[in-house]
Amino acid sequence: MPRAKLFAVVVFAAIGLAGCFGGGGRYMIGESKAYEASLYRQNCAICHGPEGDGKTLDDGTRVPSLREGEFKAKTENQIYDQIANGGNGMVGFRRQLSEREMRLLVELVKRDLRGQ
């Protein structure tokens, strides 16, 4: 029995690692033809990086990764609110983007980048 258990642990660890390093599971914004990916490239990449990994801007602003870390905006509504209103170094998009476009970006963040 312990053997089977150990085997299961090893298998799950391997799957987990493959997910992190294999590249197979990583959603590539730059290769996506989805509309929300093009919205991301036009509006968000300049600060969050081409693949949403975050970066430090020239003025020293730390822009967080949208893929991993301690998320401030956890629920769909919180993510939507951040996109619409911005805050803390982020511009708000409610004047540039439609309701539907912002909802699509919420999905991109949650589903494609965070895998939730």
Residues in the chain: 116
Nearer to ligand HEC, 6 or 98 (CB): 98
Least distance (Å) between residue 62 CB and ligand HEC: 7
Nearer to ligand HEC, 37 or 48 (CB): 48
Nearer to ligand HEC, 34 or 90 (CB): 90
Pairing of strands 55-56, 62-63: antiparallel
Nearer to ligand HEC, 8 or 91 (CB): 91
Least distance (Å) between residue 116 CB and ligand HEC: 12
Least distance (Å) between residue 7 CB and ligand HEC: 37
Residue 4 to residue 32: CA distance in whole angstroms: 40
CB 51 within 8 A of CB 30: yes
Q: Where are the alpha helices (DSSP H) in 1-116?
A: 2-21, 35-43, 45-48, 76-85, 99-107
Binding site for ligand HEC (CB under 6 A): 43-44, 46-48, 61, 63-64, 66, 71-73, 79, 82-83, 87-91, 93, 105, 109
- How is residue 64 annotated by DSSP? P
